[in-house]
Chain A
Amino acid sequence: MSRMSIRWARVEYQRDLQKPGHPIPLGVVLLPELNDRSSGIVLGREPKRDAAIPPELGYVGPLGLSQLRGWAPAIVRDAQEAQKNKIDPFAYLAARWRWNVYVTDPEQIDVESSEPLLNVAMRLFENYVKEPFRTAVAGRVRDESDRVSDTWSPAEVEYATQL
């Protein structure tokens, strides 16, 4: 079995930049390095629209909310832009996402080459957020409890683009 390394990073939320506390985990970004295509996956959670703010976030003002809502597709767009321009995507993400919602320095994980990226991402998400990833994709909902949250929406974006 061959193995491959994948770089990944956490996405965190710090509600008060002037009095930083324990960061609130939002999700993970995985960006495998492949020669012929750019690919990646982001799994996370964001506050539900038209619902109460998740209590663990505390007070969230308009500037915080502007960063929290839709962060996953926005990070994917930025990662794709960096990959297209042959820039280190994690350096690019760290430079752009550096406010209340930010991307940490990347780490490396060794996995079996045959393991689906989604499985790796779900494992990392669960280890980090301390709860299983509640999928947004209807066909993959295991049971009703899998996607029940009054305040969080799952965020899931996976892509592969030929360079």
Chain B
Amino acid sequence: MKLGQLQGQPGTVGISIAHGGESLDLPMLKARDAALYGSDKVQDAIRASSGLLALHAWVRNTDVKDDHLVIADEGGGRFAVAGIDFSYTLQWGGDPGPVDAPAPPALLVNVDKAVIQTAVDRIEGMSDERIAQIVGDVPDDVLPGPEKARVIMGLQVRRSRVREAMRSKGWLP
């Protein structure tokens, strides 16, 4: 997703970017070619995307499902899975609340603890300044000033709670 301007369209718009030249969501692939879906190459790709579990927890994604996982052909017999549609995220009040760990079924049966560990390390390693900069760069007509402050504070507080959420699920080594 990229934010930008579109001729004839007022304000900032979000433009979805395709994940790959050949791409589709996981339930569609499962329905269309169960053998390919069950192959080691596809299952490995799903497993390699386990870090999404930590990200979903951090940003409080409340719309987590397999339809929001897309797979693309990377060439050389490799595939890559990505998460899409983060519309229902970052929704917390003044108190950023407890961090739970929602999981789409396809990821739940394919957890790679080492990948999650890496993701948690990266989340914890993100500085307060970097979070403020990323959120601050979002145009005001998408995220007004007071909302930015709420989101920045929430991400900073929740950052240190992701590890425990992952551990409570048994998703860390």
Contact = CB atoms under 8 A, between A and B. Distances in A.
A139 interface: no
Interface size class of A (residues with CB under 8 A): 10 to 19
Contacts of B23: 17, 63, 99-100
A74 B31 contact: yes
Contacts of B79: 63
Contacts of A45: none
SS class of chain B's interface: helix, strand, loop or mixed?
A: mixed
A66 B21 contact: no
Nearest to A97: B28
Contacts of B71: 63
Contacts of B32: 66-67, 69-70, 74
A15 B21 contact: yes
A100 B24 contact: yes
Interface string B124-163: 0000000000000000000000000000000000000000
Interface of A: 15-19, 60-67, 69-70, 74, 96, 99-100
Given A62-B33, A66-B33, A99-B28, 7 more contacts: A16-B21, A62-B36, A66-B36, A67-B24, A74-B31, A100-B22, A100-B23
